[in-house]
Structure 1
């Protein structure tokens, strides 16, 4: 089989459709290596532990192990390891390990995940260019017309608290959640597009926001699944770029739809079409990346092949005292616990939430200045957001180059690298952030050319991606074992806080406007706040190790990084 054909088979075999075909065919189509007649079972899976006990007694032990946690069960890790066989990858180069997938497959899955993140943020704001038409149809003011945006943002902040920990359960994984939530999101767009009043529109948008959230909940986890530790921050950058671009592209896409159709409802028909296409893609051509789920399926094949039910995965061993409901309760509580009781996560969540709120508040200056003051067309006003897009791409390039220098190359040389390696880059981003806001605010006059203000927008875009990405990487490196839950707590707080600010953003800039400087004083307030917040990444840079030392979930030093580095096969 050619390399190209092998990659296609790997994608299909790991997809939802591939697993369905495999199951329906009785394991005769899209088979795994364990299904080949010439497959040699590794010795550890047919060791003496599995030969000493009969099949019936083994089944009883398995029920005791997986059941309700009887006090008569296994009491120590050593006892467990003597009775159960742990499934692992078949060597450091096992092709089933997502870390070892061919680079084109990892880039393909990364691209799809990035597109999903972009789509989520586009979905939040793509209807806003039609606000005036919506206001006229429903007879409401600007604040009420903005409610569907705010509730959508709050919704996609709540969703990760549910979907992120669920994706860390061995029988669920990432792809199934993407499929289920995409299907529900697609269906919700039909009543949303047909809404007859602002109440139904707002409620439907809130529910849709919840089911649009898996890219925020699991996007970082997907990249962690596929990339080894030295390259993980660069992989996460692709996810962050997609998300950050979506915020800016939403009004651009919405403006194009509004100009082309002159109907605000088409924003939601567009979401239906795109989400339907993504649903088909996830059903057919996106493989599962979550390691415990892949290993769990491998364990099932080995149990069937050997007749030994004592073949399990490490997650089973770790939760031997819990039932399935107990395990789910624990993982659903984990994001809440991490967000509240972990000092590093709590402080970064507060900081990013304030920055996120400022971003959504500041974005309201664009339609006010370019649309109302400078009287740009709907499309022209929407296109001004492309300055942020350009700045984001430039900032991403700067971030990747600096990250390779500060983090990737030293780690590849097997040097000691602390999570604080990201913070100097974060400080750079935090300095550029108020600079961009000040340039925008004081360049956006009624007399000067409007192009100068776009330079401020570009600087803001560059600083935003640098700052957000480095801080999320700091969290990811500190909590890599529970990265999805850590990101979920962050997404919840920043989205709930940020979602409220668009409601009064226009009022802030309009009430503080002067004849010559319509958005300068509103921008100055935001710029001063962001300037004061430069102290936060500086604080983490000097006190990060002490804060992480108090953590239950984070590694306190280099031994955790070294362990992960070795597990990645370096």
Structure 2
């Protein structure tokens, strides 16, 4: 596909392009079904006799009578024609999109994840100014951060399962939530007291959230199984970098404007730009929705009302309220009753809490103890960014060797393939925390502590990504809901810890080692947590065998391995 063809494809497949196509009755930004020389596949063409035959089949098939209590079989689906891809090489299938388009969508999705995490903490460098204006202490000034984090944990529980509906998909949710988020930044920037600021931040957190769980689903939509973990890594980089870049961006805004409110004007500008991009230039990636739109066009062309997608068959006996209830209940059910997801969620929640607590050591040590300025303190978080980039290099190298290449060779692959590197990351994590804590003295050079921050960044990226891949491979068909349950638990738990982070380190500080003993406590906790990925490596298959939703990862791989391994990245 030429560069001009790719641009046309993006415009046609974008939300605005679809509206233009419908408004013009298929005259502008046309799909292949709208072209004059399009040949309708024979399977979608049924004559009236076949309709009547199928209707009769639906009435009753079996022994006895409809009123009898004997075992009866009803052929309810025989009249429906399920829309599928036009072969393995169908260009409408996101797995077959040109690589530049997939990279482009991946990049924007990663930017969305980065932006969400930047939005959570970018106001914190101006916290002292906020405290003085509202006459509050640091704990109350931290509430908008904590409530934002809790909010973006709640949001995916609603938006992620909705994105798995054939009529909604991913892009519509991004568009609606970005628009609302952008509007919310206006009253947030103009807030007159801490109460209104905190409430608005909580609501903003909810509407900033889709990328945190649904973003992973976008990568699963576009990349076939051999390359899916690498795709999810691109999403994870954006998320993990955002946590570290938030204070850096906030510090730059604070130094440049000397006004903490500009943090929210910045969020307004960026979210408005992202809204325009998603409205116009991002194609839908969710397979059932793309097929559902194709089914609509085929029904219009053929006049055949029985052209449907698989979700229509699966939910045809459900009312609208029942469908909504099932959709919204799914991430809760997966998060509570699936042992694999529950244990991973608890584990990652603890890691998340430790991360947010440990991050509070940075402004305390570099700002208060060593006397760094606002911008310089913010730049110390770049040590975590450096470690994250190193970690993703290690992760991609190992993943290609242990997962991608064996799958391309048609070798059997199981979700536990990701656990050994997770164990490595879990060992590296306490090492980074200990190095940071005991190098961050009041007398020695501060550079050694940044090495600990870099090791933490590398280990955190490796651990989060491998466990998310474990979830994604085990719960392939409901990955957005599985990620939503994880985002909810880790955000609600982790969001509470910044409230007492500074007090935690300050109360345990000594004159020479201001953050050593606090870091030691966190390091010991992470040492104990090494046992968790080891448990998954040993007992993972047994835990997954009890799952209702996973269908076991190896079964999915066996079903799709042959076709996926033949596709090019």
Q: TM-score, normalised by structure 1?
A: 0.95
1:33 aligns to what?
32
2:247 matched to 1:251? yes
The answer on whether the counterparts of 1:225 and 1:289 sit within 8 Å (CA) in structure 2 is yes
Residues 51 and 245 from structure 1, CA distance in 2 versus in 1: closer, same or farther, beyond 3 angstroms? farther
CA distance in 1 between counterparts of 2:72 and 2:18 reads: 35
CA distance in 1 between counterparts of 2:72 and 2:238 reads: 45
2:387 aligns to what?
391
**SS of corresponding position for 2:75:** helix
Q: How does 1:91-240 map to 2 (within 5 A)?
A: 91-240=87-236
CA distance in 2 between counterparts of 1:34 and 1:499 reads: 49
2:23 matched to 1:24? yes
1:363 aligns to what?
359
**SS of corresponding position for 1:79:** coil
CA distance in 1 between counterparts of 2:82 and 2:386 reads: 49
The answer on whether the counterparts of 1:169 and 1:328 sit within 8 Å (CA) in structure 2 is no
CA distance in 2 between counterparts of 1:549 and 1:374 reads: 53
1:68 aligns to what?
none
2:504 matched to 1:504? no
1:462 aligns to what?
458
Structure 2 gap ranges (5+) = 59-66
Q: String of CA shifts for 1:320-365, please: whole Å, max 9, x gaps.
A: 2112332121111000000000000000000000000000000000
What is the Cα deviation at residue 78 of structure 1?
Answer: 7.8
Higher deviation after alignment, 374-383 or 7-16 = 7-16
CA distance in 1 between counterparts of 2:76 and 2:436 reads: 62
1:64 aligns to what?
none
The answer on whether the counterparts of 1:361 and 1:502 sit within 8 Å (CA) in structure 2 is yes
Q: String of CA shifts for 1:248-298, please: whole Å, max 9, x gaps.
A: 000000000000000000000000000000001011100100100000000
Q: Give 4+ residue runs of structure 1 displaced > 6 Å after superposition.
A: 75-78
Higher deviation after alignment, 552-561 or 267-276 = 552-561
The answer on whether the counterparts of 2:407 and 2:565 sit within 8 Å (CA) in structure 1 is no
The answer on whether the counterparts of 1:423 and 1:540 sit within 8 Å (CA) in structure 2 is yes
What is the Cα deviation at residue 319 of structure 1?
Answer: 1.3
CA distance in 2 between counterparts of 1:554 and 1:77 reads: 28
**SS of corresponding position for 1:288:** coil
Higher deviation after alignment, 81-90 or 102-111 = 81-90
What is the Cα deviation at residue 217 of structure 1?
Answer: 2.6
CA distance in 2 between counterparts of 1:282 and 1:320 reads: 31
Q: 1:266 aligns with which of 257, 262, 265?
A: 262
Q: String of CA shifts for 1:136-168, please: whole Å, max 9, x gaps.
A: 000000000000000000000000000000000
Structure 1 gap ranges (5+) = 62-70
The answer on whether the counterparts of 2:474 and 2:553 sit within 8 Å (CA) in structure 1 is no
2:313 aligns to what?
317
Residues 194 and 374 from structure 1, CA distance in 2 versus in 1: closer, same or farther, beyond 3 angstroms? same
Q: String of CA shifts for 1:211-258, please: whole Å, max 9, x gaps.
A: 000101310000000000000000000000000000000000000000
What is the Cα deviation at residue 37 of structure 1?
Answer: 1.5
**SS of corresponding position for 1:351:** helix
What is the Cα deviation at residue 77 of structure 1?
Answer: 9.5
2:51 matched to 1:53? yes
1:43 aligns to what?
42
CA distance in 2 between counterparts of 1:568 and 1:469 reads: 22
CA distance in 2 between counterparts of 1:11 and 1:295 reads: 17
CA distance in 1 between counterparts of 2:480 and 2:563 reads: 19
What is the Cα deviation at residue 566 of structure 1?
Answer: 4.1
2:421 matched to 1:422? no
CA distance in 2 between counterparts of 1:262 and 1:418 reads: 53
CA distance in 2 between counterparts of 1:542 and 1:328 reads: 37
Q: TM-score, normalised by structure 2?
A: 0.95
The answer on whether the counterparts of 2:476 and 2:553 sit within 8 Å (CA) in structure 1 is no
CA distance in 2 between counterparts of 1:557 and 1:289 reads: 22
Q: How does 1:317-396 map to 2 (within 5 A)?
A: 317-396=313-392
**SS of corresponding position for 1:53:** helix
RMSD: 1.8
1:285 aligns to what?
281
Q: How does 1:83-94 map to 2 (within 5 A)?
A: 83-94=79-90
1:486 aligns to what?
482
What is the Cα deviation at residue 91 of structure 1?
Answer: 0.2
**SS of corresponding position for 2:358:** helix
What is the Cα deviation at residue 558 of structure 1?
Answer: 2.5
2:540 matched to 1:521? no
Number of equivalent positions: 555
What is the Cα deviation at residue 51 of structure 1?
Answer: 4.5
The answer on whether the counterparts of 1:80 and 1:317 sit within 8 Å (CA) in structure 2 is no
CA distance in 1 between counterparts of 2:533 and 2:265 reads: 42
CA distance in 2 between counterparts of 1:118 and 1:80 reads: 47
